[in-house]
A and B are shown apart, each in its own frame.
Chain A
């Protein structure tokens, strides 16, 4: 299902405007954008933002309930929009294989963005090269550690959670541990927050 549309784009990251605010992809989840050559580009949601459409207008406190706001301030919802930032970490190559590296071209402006199903989360698996990109070259202002917590949690869920998710989580955790080996405290802090 289309959930958003690209409004800023580069080979490292893109920004997409969400169609329905209640449907915004969550922080740390994978999304897929249509690449210009028709091949999927995968990104991790690194930032979700709700704000005013109009740069000249700021939201102000109204002091009314949500129901009253909907009934008596009908323009408020129209003036707000949710945008998501995605850090690009993988794409599908000509043969249809998922490559954990940056695409040759960014998604086009107005390209549709979809939520990734769990099978794609599983496909974006070992040896978890995307974790290296994320840790060594995060896009601007990406909160890397919190994003790691979220992405590892999703790996756990996509592989069955309590019924089978643990081995894959351990595998991803090992990769993370190699990447962070000189920073034991940081690794512990990420792992503590996963489960």
Chain B
């Protein structure tokens, strides 16, 4: 039960904070744009200095001038666009046996033809015993992270399988994934063996995309990345001075800084690109210098560009598109990915249509989840095994008056 009356008082502070943050961002943005121009004028030298210094923060690697922009070309037709998205039922310690369920939605469209689309979902029920020793160890403590990582892996595996199933020789194809292709979250597991095994399997599949010459890209809506801003801060010599991410105006102490020239901490890449990119345009392609990427095979390191996606006549957003280096190095392929993402976002009113269709297929709704749990219970009872739900769970499901 949420007491909205109490919340109303707490909400009173929000507009003031928001207005302060907006003013700060505006000043930061103006300063960032000046710094961006300076970096652009001598981008090779800046990049060399970054290589030399190896800053502690994650900094964008420059492959060309950071102010470069490119308009979208027309998407070819006919062409194949494939996409997957996953959802899961996390393990619940109130239910025995412990299990988790992955459900991967798959979509393949043969645009420009009347061939039937693929629109389906592949469920995958797993018990902890299916996982090997490494996983057993982490699963006891880090369940949701492991399950999420396995879901990402399954999404990529199905994407590869779907691309192979639906690719028509001579017809261009793009595989579009949801979220990042960089395995950031594996760092959080603090378990080297699991991390390495997961990265190896993941990058192995990325390598197969390259071998098959299936351009793969991933789409991130409202990205929170700060790699370019960090580069600007590096250029302005303020990278090591600040706490890494003060998020709001409250955290920047106004006494110590020139109010008109605030440090860039807290500014996001997308805030900067909102001023650089016209609607429909993409940014330069940047490289990632994350440590996790050193485990990616050569040519499969993940690069990215930002894209100004129109939502409707008045609204738009800055999205981030990630691509492996072998795609980034091939200008016509980058143009193709750009064209596909733009065409998808136009149809999906600001979000790739093919991804939202894959999501629709993947999502497990509450009644379906309940039906699955009943089915599991019935299967166990039929086999002469009981399915003890914990009393806590039972009382949550049926609160009494």
Contact = CB atoms under 8 A, between A and B. Distances in A.
Interface stretch (B50-58, B105-113, B191-199, B332-340): B105-113
Contact of B110 (A56, A57, A74, A78): A74
Given A71-B112, A72-B112, A73-B347, A78 B360 contact: no
A74 B112 CA distance: 9
A72 B117 CA distance: 11
A78 B117 contact: yes
Interface string B102-138: 0000010111111111010000000000000000000
A75 B114 contact: no
A81 to B, nearest CB: 13
B357 interface: yes
A59 to B, nearest CB: 14
B360 A74 contact: no
B114 A70 contact: yes
Contacts of A78: 116-117, 119
Nearest to B349: A60
B360 A54 contact: yes
Given A54-B360, A57-B360, A78-B119, A71 B113 contact: yes
Interface string A46-73: 0000000010110000000000001111
Contact of B117 (A54, A56, A57, A74): A74
B114 A72 contact: no
A56 B367 CA distance: 13
Which range holds the interface residue count of chain A?
10 to 19
Contacts of A54: 360
Interface string A75-108: 1001000000000000000000000000000000
Contacts of B113: 71
Interface string B150-179: 000000000000000000000000000000
B57 to A, nearest CB: 42
A71 B357 contact: no
Interface in B63-109: 77, 107, 109
Interface in B334-376: 347, 357, 360, 365
B360 A72 contact: no
A70 B78 CA distance: 12
A52 B116 CA distance: 18
A74 B116 CA distance: 7
A75 B360 CA distance: 12
Nearest to A68: B112
A74 B79 CA distance: 12
A50 B68 CA distance: 49
A56 B356 CA distance: 14
Contacts of A57: 360
A70 B119 CA distance: 15
Contacts of A70: 114
The CB with the most chain B CB atoms within 10 A, among A56, A57, A71, is that of A71
Sort A-B residue pairs by CB-CB distance and give the 6 closest, nearest first: A74-B117, A74-B109, A71-B112, A70-B114, A78-B119, A75-B357
Given A71-B113, A74-B111, 17 more contacts: A56-B365, A57-B360, A70-B114, A71-B77, A72-B112, A72-B347, A73-B347, A74-B109, A74-B115, A74-B116, A75-B109, A75-B117, A75-B119, A75-B357, A78-B116, A78-B117, A78-B119
Interface of B: 77, 107, 109-117, 119, 347, 357, 360, 365
22 contacts: A54-B360, A56-B365, A57-B360, A70-B114, A71-B77, A71-B111, A71-B112, A71-B113, A72-B111, A72-B112, A72-B347, A73-B347, A74-B109, A74-B110, A74-B111, A74-B115, A74-B116, A75-B107, A75-B109, A75-B117, A75-B119, A78-B116
